Structure 1
Amino acid sequence: MQKTALVTGGNKGIGLEVTKAFLALNYDVIILARDFKNFELSTHPNVKTIVFDLIQVDAIPALIASLPAIDILINNAGIMYAIPYQNYKNDHINTMLKINLEAPVKLIEEVAKTMLEKGGRIVNNTSIAGQIGHPDIWYGITKAGLINATKSFSKIFEGKIIINAVAPSPVATDMLNTIPQARQEAFLKSVISKRFAQPEEIAKTIVWLSTESPEYINGTVIDINNGSFPR
């Protein structure tokens, strides 16, 4: 039977590479994104695009109820402002909390309603920012929260749903442009290969966790940081 993956932000960056990987495995892919301008796979027969802003957390239950049963959920979408904590306005904080943390948790809650009966997998795209003292404090807070949610839900689901996360260091996507140049240069000095991660490297890990990884890998966060935060 054809399986369905739901990918938030699956129209660009890491999410686009995840979408391509699922299509190569013959999955149906549903993508949630705020827009699909210049999206190269919009006419693909196995792709369904839905314009949706994840800040609308209260609309998520109705959205999921309108879709086919989801076999795999990839919480990939997120935002980062990369501004000093004292310059954060309430709108910045509220938007980041909703998109980076509240929406992924609500999506997990909603897809679990059918996944708990038939099984499924969930992968959350978090960040090294949730593991270290990150300069963008609110971004780090949301990613740390999503890491904690991953671990909590793994216990709640008791193995009926496999849920894991990845925690990449900076990746060569559009989001990289929000990081000040000095921070980029300092980071490059900390990694073994002296380069940023590529989107496809993160995507391969996400797809492996959502399709092939052993079920004993559950409630785990896979670090992808090339030695910049060895543990």
Structure 2
Amino acid sequence: MDFTGKNVLITGASRGIGKATAMAFAKKGAKVGINYRSNDEVAQQTLAALPGEGHQLFKRDISQKTETEALINDFVKEFGQLDVLVNNAGISIFHEIDKVDFDHWTNAWEKTFETNLFAVANLCYWGAKAMMETGGGHIVSVSSRGAFRGEPTKPAYGASKAALNSMSQSLAKKLAPHNIYVGVVAPGFTETEMAKETLTPAERENLLRESPFKRMAQPEEVAHAILFLASSEAAYSSGTIIDVNGASYLR
């Protein structure tokens, strides 16, 4: 896979899967736009770590509707055109129905859908418009195995990812005549920096038992699947959802 001369925008790209994906694209010759919401220091560190030249930071809170259009406009202004959009940014809020009050419940649903679905839908809209003007492109969104197996402690998360899957497959059909290819990667639990910082030993042990490989996914493994779906070789795989969960959940 060669992305020389391609311009790639990745949301939530300062850490974790987004950072690994930015690194992978940069190593393959792409110019990368790193979208992040607030942590300037971490974003600058990620930018400095990318091989190659021409990469840039784009600080925008994509949960805000007007920010999605502004992000795409900023990117196109700086890079000239958008070839690949990777919708990676997402949030996860615990809201167990038998343990939280109604305000917590409704807030979790609203916040989760704002970032995990509505922001992605809006970015797909503006991103696709930009791609139509230049002959096409690729859109890859990061979902979750939770879309299929359920998320009892955070049902809004599972529901938002299931909706993201359905939306992506609808767009794959609609955007095909415009030479825009749409794919989804659905990871299991991934061993990001944040996970290492927040997991208790017991939680980590439970996660390790979920996969017959007795380990969690590495961010680079998820990034590899994203790059495949963003490549010209994967054009006829438009509409595909790739599971990257170590056989922890099979469908």
Q: SS of the residue aligned with 1:227?
A: coil
Q: Which amino acid counterpart does residue 42 of structure 2 have in structure 1? A: N
- C-alpha contact 1:23 1:29 (8 A) present in aligned 2: yes
Question: Per-residue deviation at 1:213?
Answer: 3.6
Residue 76 of structure 1: aligned partner: 88
- Could you say if the C-alpha distance between residues 181 and 153 of structure 1 is closer, same or farther in structure 2, counting changes exceeding 3 Å? farther
Q: Which amino acid counterpart does residue 174 of structure 2 have in structure 1? A: I
Answer yes or no: is 1:208 the counterpart of 2:228.
yes
CA RMSD of aligned residues (A): 2.1
- C-alpha contact 2:11 2:86 (8 A) present in aligned 1: yes
- 1:20-169 map, 5 Å: 20-34=23-37, 35-39=39-43, 40-43=45-48, 45-68=53-76, 69-85=81-97, 86-87=99-100, 88-117=104-133, 118-135=135-152, 136-159=154-177, 160-169=179-188
Question: Per-residue deviation at 1:2?
Answer: 2.5
Point out where structure 1 has 5 or more consecutive residues left out of the alignment.
Answer: none
TM-score by length of 2: 0.84
Residue 189 of structure 1: aligned partner: 209
- C-alpha contact 1:81 1:178 (8 A) present in aligned 2: no
- Could you say if the C-alpha distance between residues 175 and 65 of structure 1 is closer, same or farther in structure 2, counting changes exceeding 3 Å? same
Question: Per-residue deviation at 1:41?
Answer: 3.4
Q: SS of the residue aligned with 1:172?
A: coil
Q: SS of the residue aligned with 1:38?
A: helix
Richer in helix (by share): 2
User: Which of 154, 169, 172 is the equivalent residue of 2:191?
Assistant: 172
TM-score by length of 1: 0.91
Q: Which amino acid counterpart does residue 155 of structure 1 have in structure 2? A: K
- C-alpha contact 1:27 1:46 (8 A) present in aligned 2: no
Percent identity between the two aligned chains: 32
